[in-house]
Structure 1
Amino acid sequence: MAAFASYDVTPSQVRAIRVITQHDGGVRASELAQQLRIAPRSATEVVDALEEKGLVARDPDPADRRATLVSLTDRGRALSEDVRRARGVESERMFERLTRTERADLARILAKLAED
């Protein structure tokens, strides 16, 4: 939370930024809504707020001029990187109490749970 406090963003906005980060050329708001599992109207509100803060930009979709793509601005990319680093530090802090064997066991269990 401290990593994005200075950016004045909510956790749901950070989740949206994480999804947008995964789409180099930008993402349509409808796809963003689907990936966040929220209503399209809610995705529009999230994008509006992020755009107002200078974290994302809307650009015409080159494949469909009626649609727009949402992409990160330089400020949005900086926030994404700050959050990624902060999560890494927090993960290390949280898992440092586990032994090497416990970490290996946890990784194996999580990999099994992630299987389809």
Structure 2
Amino acid sequence: MEERELAELLHLVSRRLRHGYVRRLVPLGLSPSQARALRVLADAGPEHPLRMVRLAEELRIVPRSLTPVVDALEEAGLVRRQVDPGNRRSTLVVITPEGRAAAGRARDARRLAGEELFAVLSEEQRDQLRELLSVVDRQFR
């Protein structure tokens, strides 16, 4: 068997992780982009709603791509929009208690997808992989 390049292997493993995650998000009624937005909002805390522009920056997407994500989350009752009192031209996205609960379920879905995928590795191997990936990640922060 031909040895695969590291980048190709990482891509394949990432795809498998994403598929496992998506499979777990479907019953929650969430897409990966909606789950990511909820995670960012939940991590910011209820006392720190984010402006739409800031949320888009955190998600590394353009603001116009965020609008349908927030629309769907708002329709589901997971977030609400409100005018920013500090700048009436800006819109804040506020996570609701239901949204916070959904963010927790999405986080569990991601963790379970990872546990399933990496179950073939020993605890020591998982720790080594975590450390190696952390080294690479730190280079790009």
Please give the range of the TM-score, normalised by the shorter of the 2 chains. Answer: 0.7 to 0.9
Match in the other structure for 1:95: 118
Paired position in structure 2 for 1:10: 31
1:104 aligned partner? 127
Instruction: Give the letter aligned to residue 30 of structure 1.
Output: V
What is the aligned counterpart of 1:84 among 107, 110, 126? Answer: 107
Q: Structure 2-normalised TM-score?
A: 0.70
Unaligned stretches of 5+ in structure 2?
Answer: 1-21
Q: Scaled by the length of structure 1, what TM-score is found? A: 0.83
Bigger share in helix = 2
Q: 1:53 aligns with which of 70, 76, 85?
A: 76
Q: Deviation above 6 Å: which 4+ runs of structure 1?
A: none
- Report the equivalent of 2:87: 64
Q: Percent identity?
A: 41
Q: 1:39, 1:115 → 2: CA distance?
A: 24
CA-based RMSD of the aligned residues comes to 1.9
Cα distance per residue 1:31-76 (max 9 Å; x no partner): 1222222221121222122111111011232432332210211221
SS, match of residue 96 in structure 1: helix
Deviates more, 1:80-89 or 1:90-99: 90-99
The one-letter code of the counterpart of 1:96 is A
